Amino acid sequence: MRNLYITDLKRILKDKLFLIAAILAGVFALINPLLNKILFSALELEDFLDGMMNAKSMFFGAFLPGDNLGLVMPILISIIVCKDFSHGTVRNKIISGKSRGVIFLSHFLSSASVMCVLMLAHALLTLAFSLCFFPYQSEKFTMSDFGYLLLSLLFEMIVYLAIAAIVTFIATLSKNMGICILLYLALSFGLSIIGSVFMTAGAFLDKSSSWFGIVEFINALNFFTSSLIGSGVTYTAKDVLYILLSPILTIAGSLALGIHLFSRKDLK
């Protein structure tokens, strides 16, 4: 497993698409805060939006799976995973006696490692550039904020593990770059749109109504909008359950089903 993981990691790092993803991570991190600053200055909204736009919201916004790097990177990584099939190099692994389960897990772990590290770097760069123009938050930064930040980062990483599991599942079973890109885009846009619709609906609903609870639950399960992560100052036990439930189920389901289907699949 270790040998395969190292091989897959090297393969991703040597691919030009990884370089593109790394450059985009830097570019998006610089552009987003800069554009916001320019836009707010030009429209003279700085005083009006004082406290609403801050480095904290930009930092957590950098993790959104439907936006910027959060949308582009899984696609780039899925293309790299697909290349193992299109180049036929996956055959070398099978012929050398590696099990298909281990090959699938290695694809997942290498994709997840690269995705998590790049997303983290992107978000930290976004935070660094944002702090040049905006305060971290309107309140004073305390140790409890630091704890909240670290816990939020852990949740974001779990979300990206789930996205890596989806990407590995689609790429390994479709083995086709075109299909893989289309499926991921459809999934990403579909869940982002559904998330937006439910968030809008939630804003109009009476908080005491039973419908609000249902909408809130559906919103929380949709990790493509990650509405609960980084949006407050503390997490309740219910928040943690809602945040972790769907990513963990997604990881477990994608890996179990993916390994099962991949083990039975004929390869060319």
Min CB(115)–another protein separation in Å: 20
Residue 91 or 238 with smaller CB distance to another protein: 91
Give the whole-angstrom CA distance, residue 86 versus residue 248.
30
> Phi, psi (5° rounding) for residue 205?
-85, 150
Residue 238 or 260 with smaller CB distance to another protein: 260
Min CB(103)–another protein separation in Å: 10
Min CB(261)–another protein separation in Å: 13
Min CB(16)–another protein separation in Å: 7
Q: Name the nearest CA neighbour of 28 among 54, 60, 59, 62.
A: 62
Asked if residue 227 lies in contact with residue 195, where contact means CB atoms within 8 angstroms, the answer is yes
Residue 7 or 57 with smaller CB distance to another protein: 7
Give the whole-angstrom CA distance, residue 206 versus residue 212.
7
Residue 5 or 235 with smaller CB distance to another protein: 5
Applying CB under 8 A, which residues contact another protein?
A: 3-4, 6-7, 10-11, 14-16, 83, 87-99, 264, 266-268
Q: Give the number of other CB atoms < 10 A from CB of residue 231.
A: 12
Residue 89 or 144 with smaller CB distance to another protein: 89
Helix or strand run (H / E) with residue 228:
none
Residue 99 or 113 with smaller CB distance to another protein: 99
Q: Name the nearest CA neighbour of 222 among 253, 252, 187.
A: 187
Min CB(17)–another protein separation in Å: 9
Which tokens go with 120?
A: 């983290």
Min CB(172)–another protein separation in Å: 14
Convert 140-149 to b/e letters by CB count within 10 Å (16 or more is b): eeeeebeebb
Asked if residue 252 lies in contact with residue 166, where contact means CB atoms within 8 angstroms, the answer is no
**Following CA atoms 190, 193, 198, 200 in sequence, which dihedral angle do they give, to the nearest 10 degrees?**
180
